[in-house]
Amino acid sequence: MPRTARQPSKSKIYHIMFRGNELKNIFFDVEDRLKFLQLLDEKALDENFTVYAYCLMDNHVHILLYGEHENLSRLVKRINTSYVYYFNKKQSRVGHLFHDRFKSQPVETDAYLLAVVRYIHNNPVKAGMVADPLDYRWSSYRSYADYPRISYSCLDPLYILKMFSENISEAKKLFLNFSKQQEEKNLKIIDIDENEMRSKDIIGEAAAKSFVDKYLQMKGIQYDCLRENRYKSIRNELISELRKKSNLSIRQIASLFGVSRGVVSRIRKV
């Protein structure tokens, strides 16, 4: 079935989102997030895009930006190619990191633009990671609160702030108040598919360890026994299950079982 062409935005403003393949994490530490933001800043400036808002979650990214439609796919491709090269080298892995095609949505009214900015900045709150978007380091929200100090050259909070007031101090107060208001019902904003999110039964290392412990208890096997050659098939079965059902990386699964990343990579999902 042919892909649907991306819809150009009359305003040249787009909300884009891309996520990890199979909803697996694309960021594991501070270094990963800083690398991605450095690439976003560098490539956005190269392609003449202005970023109005961004948020880096563990397994997906939201970016709101302004630029020419014909350059949008090239921008995302350049960011992703560079980040995947960095990530795969660091994690000693090969293959795709991001899921297929990035999502994009034209933003063509002021009301919708402000709603998308609020939605992006409140992603970590919605996910239960923080109580206030100011507490989350990996979004552009702090650059709004701290303006004129901004994190990256490609970022322009002023455009949005001036929609509230020409007086910047007043604009920041109004913006922060607006950000705390409830989202409008039935507002269609691109994000992770909730049904797909629920399809991942095991989220995080603690849940994975619990899954392994319950499985071994049912089999009457001690955890340390997995290192023995006679239990290799059971270990491999567990690895296969975690590759299919969890959001853990190959590195995390390898660490859980005390094996190399190569061993995990060679075991197919059931």
Q: In sequence order, what are the residues at sequence separation of 6 or more whose Cβ sits closer than 8 angstroms to the Cβ of residue 113?
A: 11, 13, 52, 64, 107, 160, 163
**214: buried, middle or exposed (CB in 10 Å: 19+, 13-18, 0-12)?**
exposed
**Dist. CA 17–CA 105, nearest whole Å:** 9
At 26-68, the pLDDT tens digits run: 999 999 999 999 999 999 999 999 999 999 999 999 999 999 9
Domains and their CATH numbers in the chain: 13-198 (3.30.70.1290), 205-266 (no CATH)
**Dist. CA 105–CA 141, nearest whole Å:** 21
At 129-187, the pLDDT tens digits run: 899 999 999 999 999 999 999 999 999 999 999 999 999 999 999 999 999 998 887 78
Specify the pTM: 0.74
Nearest to 251 by CA among 83, 28, 56: 28
Helix (H) or strand (E) holding 110: helix 110-121
- Give me the pLDDT at residue 10, please: 95
At 90-103, the pLDDT tens digits run: 988 888 898 778 99
Q: In sequence order, what are the residues at sequence separation of 6 or more whose Cβ sits closer than 8 angstroms to the Cβ of residue 158?
A: 147, 148, 168
At 129-142, the pLDDT tens digits run: 899 999 999 999 99
